[in-house]
Amino acid sequence: MADVDGNGHSGSPSMLLDGYDASRVYDEVFDANGAVRGAYSRIVERFSELDAAELQRLGELVAGEFRRQGITFTVYSEDEGTERIWPMDLFPRLIAATEWEELARGLSQRVAALNCFLSDLYSGEAAVLADGVVPRWLVVSSRGFERNAMGITVPHGAHCNIAGIDVVRGADGRYQVLEDNLRNPSGISYVIENRAAMAKVCSWLFDDHTVQPTEQYGRMLRSTLESMAPGGSDHARIVVLTPGIFNSAYFEHAFLARSMGVELVEGRDLVVEDHTVYSRTIEGLVKVDVVYRRIDDDFLDPVAFRPDSSLGVPGLLGALRAGTVAVCNALGNGVADDKAVYPYVPDLIRYYLGAEPIIDNVATYTMWDADQRDEALGRLHELVAKPVGESGGYGVLIGPHASEQELQAAREAITAEPREWIVQELVQLSTLPALAEDRLEPRHLDLRPFVLTAERTEVFPGGLTRVAMRRGSLIVNSSQGGGSKDTWVLAPEPP
């Protein structure tokens, strides 16, 4: 076999993409006629130089690298051990510069509107409710609506400092927002580790492209958090608050603390005295200015919330009210990423920003509206039903994949508690090649970009591409067998 590029890659024709069927949905790489889309031409050529055994070997190298480094996530329901090696498929996702620019504008717009909404609810006059843009009952009945957050001043008026917005591409290739994550969006560490692994194992893939880097996230995040410090950003003491080593995202918490060069603390490491937060060091108490918490609202302060939990910091809410500490993300953001509020986000953009949404929602039926409910229940076998209180893909019913018994159970559950469900049109998520045994097959995927907001808003280039590793599956969550891909935002073409 010829060595075509001097890197040991065989030049013999590859069978990897034989039989690849891109005709069913929007494929990121091939158009409906099977022609390669422009950005992917060199990637397809490079992969054509590999055979399945070589690709599997490279995949094993990545898995070995992740295993050695302990890049893991935790699945609570698993019997055998709790840590799993982070799964990554080697075929990267590419986003052209112009496409990314438009997407980033849309994400900034959406987060800006959501921050306006949160400010209006918690620090303003709730005009959005008075004006009937969002029903008052819907907001006050949201589990994420936190009365304890009323009147707390947040730095720069930004309640959501770190957002992860899940976007998908439907059959027409347009991006749509599937879900907002405004409390503790996770996944950024895997974005950066995916890139590091790709650069180690497949460095030759980068030869033909100028890809925007990812290693700057620690600096971006630290700068965002420093700007939130009550006493100014100079010498601000920042901590990352984790529930501990058994949390599913512990790897990410440690990663973020290390990449920012700040302490990773647990609730027991912090103490509040005179409405001021301190960390317990071997030299005594040291004041803390900013807490990047990766603990849900309910566990944040046992005095105000769950008294039976020791994960949080007793008295933290008092310190927050006194303005001696900033907490990222702010308390009560759950109301804005409540799936029941999601259908109103386009209206929020129009209401607060006076603009049309740059990125649309997926068409959604509100189950508390009798007409919409009747229509949706009649077509449930074609639609997707989501419980508003779940995450991670749990409880989602995909109509075309459900049995009649499951559909009937969902209809009954929705009718009994319409506030607890939304129903959406089924989006046939776009596909990208992924290794399935000995060939590349189309697999559905989504994208979670991250938006940072404090003094200004920045969209981190790329995001976490999650991919369903089972044929035909639309569930991309890693806890349910999904994988991930390195996401390349290409640099703008020189003029």
User: Which residues are at the interface with another protein (CB under 8 A)?
Assistant: 67-70, 76, 240, 243-248, 253-255, 257-258, 263-266, 268-269, 271, 279-284, 286, 295-296, 298-299, 302-303, 306-311, 314-315
Q: For residues 254 and 398, which CB has a smaller minimum distance to another protein in the complex?
A: 254
Q: For residues 76 and 125, which CB has a smaller minimum distance to another protein in the complex?
A: 76
Q: For residues 167 and 272, which CB has a smaller minimum distance to another protein in the complex?
A: 272
Q: For residues 282 and 416, which CB has a smaller minimum distance to another protein in the complex?
A: 282
Q: How far is the CB of 197 from another protein (least distance, A)?
A: 14
Q: For residues 254 and 413, which CB has a smaller minimum distance to another protein in the complex?
A: 254
Contact 207, 194 (CB under 8 A): no
Q: How far is the CB of 311 from another protein (least distance, A)?
A: 7
Cis check: omega of the bond before 161, within 30 degrees of 0: no
How far apart are the C-alpha atoms of 22 and 18, rounded to whole Å? 11
Q: For residues 170 and 218, which CB has a smaller minimum distance to another protein in the complex?
A: 218
CA distances from 226 to 188, 235, 427, 452, 454 (A): 19, 8, 40, 13, 9
Q: For residues 48 and 69, which CB has a smaller minimum distance to another protein in the complex?
A: 69
Closest CA to 335 of 127, 131, 135, 109: 135
Q: How far is the CB of 477 from another protein (least distance, A)?
A: 17
CA distances from 234 to 110, 323, 471 (A): 31, 17, 52
> Pairing between strand 290-293 and 326-328?
parallel
Spatial neighbors of 289 by CB under 8 A, at least 6 apart, are 229, 230, 231, 236, 237, 238, 325, 326
Q: For residues 52 and 85, which CB has a smaller minimum distance to another protein in the complex?
A: 85
Q: How far is the CB of 448 from another protein (least distance, A)?
A: 19
Q: For residues 307 and 472, which CB has a smaller minimum distance to another protein in the complex?
A: 307
How far apart are the C-alpha atoms of 6 and 217, rounded to whole Å? 34
Closest CA to 316 of 289, 277, 269, 285: 277
Q: How far is the CB of 491 from another protein (least distance, A)?
A: 28
How far apart are the C-alpha atoms of 363 and 368, rounded to whole Å? 16
The alpha-helical segments, DSSP class H, found in 123-171 are: 127-130, 136-140
How far apart are the C-alpha atoms of 334 and 182, rounded to whole Å? 7
For residue 75 the two structure tokens come to 């699945």
How far apart are the C-alpha atoms of 108 and 130, rounded to whole Å? 26
Q: How far is the CB of 263 from another protein (least distance, A)?
A: 6
Q: How far is the CB of 177 from another protein (least distance, A)?
A: 25
Q: How far is the CB of 300 from another protein (least distance, A)?
A: 9
Quick one: angle between helices 188-201 and 250-260, nearest 10? 80
Q: How far is the CB of 73 from another protein (least distance, A)?
A: 12
Q: How far is the CB of 240 from another protein (least distance, A)?
A: 8
Closest CA to 114 of 311, 353, 408: 353
Q: For residues 137 and 394, which CB has a smaller minimum distance to another protein in the complex?
A: 394
Provide the Cα torsion 19, 24, 25, 31; round to 10°.
Answer: 60
